[in-house]
Structure 1
């Protein structure tokens, strides 16, 4: 992924000139942002915007490290609880720096937590359309190849989607293999064996070696109802593993899974925002 880094005494950011499209228009992304003070951050941000304008690009999104496969979004509201594993973090003044440069929120997300004693009691209506089975824990590279293929198909219509190569995807996820628990990873398979969906969960190792929370990190489905069945199995399995809480991580406000999270009794504890700037007015 090509990027240009801007670094000053008090701030640093990366400019990705080939970011995802925004409403069908070519868009740059600004990510990897950090600053000691709002003034130093604004100075670096303006330098990044000038570089983008010079390249003839009129739209910018941020924070985003090139695409939505990598780190993106600011924490915009929080209950003050500690970050969970793989959650984006930032200083409280960072969103204000972007707003000072003319950025506005263009997409909103949240994370919520739910007691497993409650969430694990519900079961969706049985179906013959697919069967939910756990990953057997073998051949992790092949597992992530399957996840890649289904993700590309399931997420291709999402806002700010940008394709990623399979080798780049594997390079992102293979390092986390030692942390995986097959009991928190599931496939939904149709009667012919083809994949209808997957769910990738992981213990919240940010709590330590024996976490009490399990993170529902990502799931995707190609069949109606598959997501609900996958989430149900995840909740039940996490409870059996000794966890007491599930974290529904980084859900888009307008996603169907947002309504499902609320229906399952989850409580929002963090909100996030992706910001954008139109340089052509």
Structure 2
């Protein structure tokens, strides 16, 4: 993934000219953004915008480090609680700097807390279409290869989707292997053994070595109902392990998971926004 760096007195960012499509139009992205003052940040953004314009591109998405596989989104609202593991962070003025450069929100997300004693008390009837099983703790590279291939298929129709190679995916996720807890990772398999869905959870080690929250980081399914069953198994296992809270992380507002989180008693504690700028408008 090719990037260009822009540094000014008091600000820096990375520019990716080959970003994903936005409404069917190729876009550049701006990521790794930081600024000491709004004025410095605005100056850097203006430089990036002119570079994108000179490259003949008329869409910019940010913050996004090239694609949605990497870091993207700004925190837009918060209850002030500490960031959880792998959560995007930014200074409070960063969204206003992007707005000052002409960017507007194009997608919104949230994270919610769920009391496990409440949500884990409800169980689902077994499905005839698939069974859910935890990861056995072996062959972590094989685990992430399975996750990669199902993710590519499940997420291909998502907005701002851009393919990534298996090797790049493994390079991103293999470093987290020492933090994995096999009881928080689940697969849904059809009767023929093929993969119907997965759920990747992880303790919130940002709290310290003995966290009380478990993060439902990512899940995807290709079979109707598999997502609900995977989440149910995750909640019950997290409770059995001694966690008291589940964090439903970084859910798109329009995703079916958003409604499910609310039904399960989720309380939103953080909101996020992704911004876009059309240069042809």
Instruction: State the TM bucket, normalised to the shorter chain.
Output: over 0.9
- Would you identify which runs of 4 or more consecutive aligned residues in structure 1 move more than 6 Å? none
Aligned partners of 1:124 and 1:228: how far apart in 2?
8
The residue that corresponds to 1:236 in the other structure is 236
Question: Partner residue of 2:169?
Answer: 169
TM-score by length of 2: 1.00
Q: Counterparts of 1:124 and 1:3 in 2: how far apart (Å)?
A: 46
Measure, in 2, the Cα distance between the counterparts of 1:127 and 1:170.
Answer: 31
1:9 and 1:280 map into 2 onto residues whose CA distance is 29
Aligned-pair RMSD on alpha carbons?
Answer: 0.4
Corresponding residue number in structure 1 for 2:194: 194
- Whole-Å separation in 2 of the counterparts to 1:122 and 1:190: 23
What SS is found at the alignment partner of 1:160? coil
Q: Which residue of 1 aligns with 2:159?
A: 159
Are 1:227 and 2:260 matched, yes or no? no
SS in 1 for 2:186: strand
- Within 5 Å, give how 1:90-169 maps onto structure 2: 90-169=90-169
User: Alpha-carbon deviations, 1:223-252, whole Å to 9, x = none?
Assistant: 000000000000000011110000000000
Aligned to 2:76: 76
**What secondary structure does 1:274 align onto?**
strand
**Secondary structure of 2:109's match?**
strand
Any stretches of 5+ residues in structure 1 without a counterpart? none
Give the match's secondary structure for 1:77: strand
* Structure 2 unmatched runs, 5+: none
Aligned position for 1:66: 66
Deviations 1:39-97 (A, max 9, x none): 00000000001100000000000000000000000000000000000000000000000
TM-score (norm 1): 1.00
Helix, strand or coil at the partner of 2:110: strand
